[in-house]
Structure 1
Amino acid sequence: MDKITYNDAFEELKTLILDLEQGEITVDELAAKVKRAALLIELCKKKLTATEEEVNKVIESMEE
């Protein structure tokens, strides 16, 4: 799962949300789609946090 890029995860998440909003997902698929969405959200959060930490390190090294 970590090999997926942030952009790919975000695009898939947007598609899942659109499907949910438009009623494109059956009741049988709902639980699996919600679980997938939760995984994608977690992945995006981790990637954003890692990027923020990396940027902060660069900024700190520039200030030294």
Structure 2
Amino acid sequence: MTNDQPTDIGGYAAALDELQEILAALESDTTDVDQLAVRVERADALIRHCRSRLDDARFQIDQVVGSLDDV
């Protein structure tokens, strides 16, 4: 798996919802062994996406707070 972000992931909330669905499926033992690796890879991509969105938000917040210091 590459570090590139998949283009089919929506916003943070959609990614989090999909992660919760994957987790529920994995916890229920209904995941086919053949699909296990696919689901884990998808979860990895979703987690990376969510972390990136959080990092972006943190950066933007830091910029706003920093600009308030100039006022």
TM-score of the pair, normalised by structure 1: 0.94
Identity of aligned residues (%): 31
Deviations 1:6-27 (A, max 9, x none): 0000000011001000112110
Q: Is the 8 A contact 2:16 2:50 kept in 1?
A: yes
Task: Tell whether 2:32 aligns with 1:26.
Answer: yes
Aligned AA for 1:29? Answer: Q
Structure 2 residues not aligned, in runs of 5+: 1-6
Which 4+ stretches in 1 moved above 4 angstroms? Answer: none
TM-score of the pair, normalised by structure 2: 0.85
> Which of the two has greater helix per residue?
1
Structure 1 residues not aligned, in runs of 5+: none
Task: Tell whether 2:34 aligns with 1:41.
Answer: no
